[in-house]
Structure 1
Amino acid sequence: MNRISTVLRASLLAVALATTAGPAHAHPPIAAEQAAASFAQDRADILAMAGNYKVRFDMQESTRWDAGYTPLAAKTSGGYESVRVIVDDGRRIVLQHLLVVQADGRDVVIKHWRQDWEYEPARVLVYADTGTWRWETVPEAMRTGRWAQTVYQVDDSPRYGGWGQFETQGGVRRWRSNWTWRPLARRDAVRHPVYDRYLAINRHQITPDGWIHWQDNTKLGPKDGKLAPIVQEYVLNTYTRSDSYNARAADEYWAATRDYWAAVRQEWERVARERGGIAIAEEAETGTVISARLMQLADDVLTGKSATPQASAAARRLIAETTRQP
């Protein structure tokens, strides 16, 4: 019996040591040779997200962490979306999403979210608190071979940022972020729920038919003077290649407004760089308090009501006047 107990204890100790040993990070640093071997495929996977798609958005509050909360019923929606590469300089790729919807029998384009990818970043602009984004340093040991993804709202103000790596598990390749803070999406913000932010992991995976964007969101809110988890949510956005809508409308919109939006991006970037981040008031219905005005200026350029230089100057003034030190 004593010999059996000794063997059992030794086995348990070996398991414990194997479990606790190793790096503190869920993903260890990437060797330079491995990073170099993966770089071309990483770029190909990011660029493969460009195209014309039918999109399905699946959202489900799945598990409550607060006994007094009732999870929302599952919700699905969808539409058509064109994704275009607007910057590609090798180590930085920018993808602009453009929704195409039918309204009064005609195609209407709505500038949607934007995703910026940067290889081996030193820092990332991340969500810090209500209406506030700050620069976060990426640990030096975790930069090699990794990509940052920063997501921007419809008016090109920041939404969330994170860094992560491409990996293959079970034969499936994906990019997976670190844990990132996010502000509420409009679908939640307009309900003024008990939670006020998300802590999330973000994944992107290329499929035979397009790609998927998978989110694992912990929704948190203030409780007894501190942040507390309220409910878990999963979101699966499926992008399936499609030629069943007028993608040309998206390209025509972008051709007419891209110089204006380039000026808007540059102003947001200037503010973030010079002020150490961005702070701006937000509204549940629109995002930033100037979102609707920035979008209207783009429409004015599209319809010829305003020239690009005048609209760009007005947008720069709006951003400069409404942002503050974070």
Structure 2
Amino acid sequence: MKKTVILLLASFGAFAQKSADITAIKGQCGCHEVKFDYAETFTPNKEYKLKDQYHAKGTEYVFVVEESKDKIVIQHLLAIGDTMVVKHWREDWTYEDPNLLSFYKEGVWKYSQFEKGAVKKGWTQKVYEVDDAPRYEGFAQWSHANGKHLWESKVDAPLPRREYTKRKDYNVLKRGNRIYVTDAGYLHEQDNDKILRKEGTDLLIVQEKGINDYKKLSDEKACEVTKKWWAEHAPFWADVRAEWAQVFDQHKNITIKQFVRSKMLSEYFTAIEKEKNDSVTNRKKIKEVLNQFVVYNDEVIGKN
């Protein structure tokens, strides 16, 4: 009897924790005024000159596009003025997920698996680029106290969009991510290392502080343009997600090319969407394009 009570209490505790986690994850949603601020802070190289700070702002609509028992898919759309919308990044949250796709360098991604039990009560945040290619994945448990919710991880990632056409001196951004969620919005704080990775060695070029501050707006009129845009474009991007899932579900190491015939992946997707195909045709064409960009590497999956 005592053992049964203990098991019931443990089960209830896990359920309560997971429910609080889901509330925090979905607490990121809404219409936000967002500011993006980055500043390089320290370099071990005395000859290195810190680069100019980066500042940007906008209106971002964050919303759930898919939800199941152990998975929440959240899309970000950036509104520029009253008419222009940019499909921004996407994040998938998966519960007790043993699979992790980690960036290595220069388009190479490596799959690994957590040992049994290591993912208990934890969530993986899988972040994707504007074309739904992977950007980074990290795993951690949420903590909840005093009306605040915190999740943090340290992960390797490609260069951010603000720098990947400008910088050649580093090839890995080691992201220190901390997400704080409150009723007023959420804060994405970053302590990043810009690293030059060669086989077997990581050379720190410079460290960086990043603050992405999302202030939730009580009036969502500023996000009406993004809602209308998504209503029109959602079916196509559902097809894109489905075909990328076919890639990820193979649990293989992959290399993603930046260009095919001098075009980026997003350019091919834009062209396909303009054709106004049905879903079956879309998925066939999306798959054909992904087969040109994604190379499967025959390596043994590692353990975390």
Query: Under TM normalisation by the shorter chain, which class is it?
Result: 0.7 to 0.9
Kindly report which structure 2 residues correspond to 1:149-298, keeping only aligned pairs within 5 A, or say none. 149-168=125-144, 172-177=148-153, 179-222=154-197, 226-242=201-217, 243=219, 246-274=222-250, 276-282=252-258, 289-298=264-273
- The code of the aligned residue for 2:247 comes to V
Name the CA shift for 1:40/1:225 in 2 (closer, same or farther; >3 Å). Answer: closer
| Greater Cα radius of gyration, structure 1 or 2 | 1
- Secondary structure (helix, strand or coil) at the match of 1:325 reads strand
1:64 corresponds to: 43
1:88 corresponds to: 67
CA distances 1:184-215 after superposition (whole Å, capped 9, x unpaired): 01211111231111112211111232111111
Aligned residue among 85, 88, 98 for 1:122:
98
- Secondary structure (helix, strand or coil) at the match of 2:272 reads helix
Contact 1:107-1:246 at 8 Å conserved across structures: no
Aligned residue among 74, 93, 108 for 2:53:
74
Contact 1:82-1:97 at 8 Å conserved across structures: yes
Tell whether 2:107 aligns with 1:137: no
Distance 2:30 2:24 in 1: 12
| 1:172 CA displacement | 4.1
Aligned residue among 250, 275, 289 for 1:318:
289
Contact 1:155-1:295 at 8 Å conserved across structures: no
Identity within the alignment, %? 29
Name the CA shift for 1:65/1:168 in 2 (closer, same or farther; >3 Å). Answer: farther
* Alignment gaps of 5+ in structure 2: 1-9, 298-304
Distance 1:196 1:73 in 2: 19
Query: Per residue, is there more helix in 1 or in 2?
Result: 1
Aligned residues: 284
Contact 1:275-1:325 at 8 Å conserved across structures: no
Distance 1:223 1:277 in 2: 18
Contact 1:260-1:311 at 8 Å conserved across structures: yes
| 1:294 CA displacement | 1.2
Once structures 1 and 2 are overlaid, which stretch shifts more, 34-43 or 243-252? 243-252
- The code of the aligned residue for 2:104 comes to A
Distance 2:197 2:295 in 1: 25
- Secondary structure (helix, strand or coil) at the match of 2:50 reads coil
Tell whether 2:126 aligns with 1:147: no
Distance 2:55 2:125 in 1: 25
Alignment RMSD (CA, Å): 2.4
| 1:44 CA displacement | 0.1
Distance 1:129 1:97 in 2: 26
| 1:308 CA displacement | 3.8
1:21 corresponds to: none
Once structures 1 and 2 are overlaid, which stretch shifts more, 288-297 or 51-60? 288-297
- Secondary structure (helix, strand or coil) at the match of 2:120 reads coil
Contact 1:259-1:308 at 8 Å conserved across structures: no
Distance 1:267 1:210 in 2: 32
Distance 2:151 2:89 in 1: 18
| 1:245 CA displacement | 5.0
Distance 1:277 1:248 in 2: 40
- Secondary structure (helix, strand or coil) at the match of 2:212 reads strand
Q: Output the TM-score relative to the length of structure 2.
A: 0.85
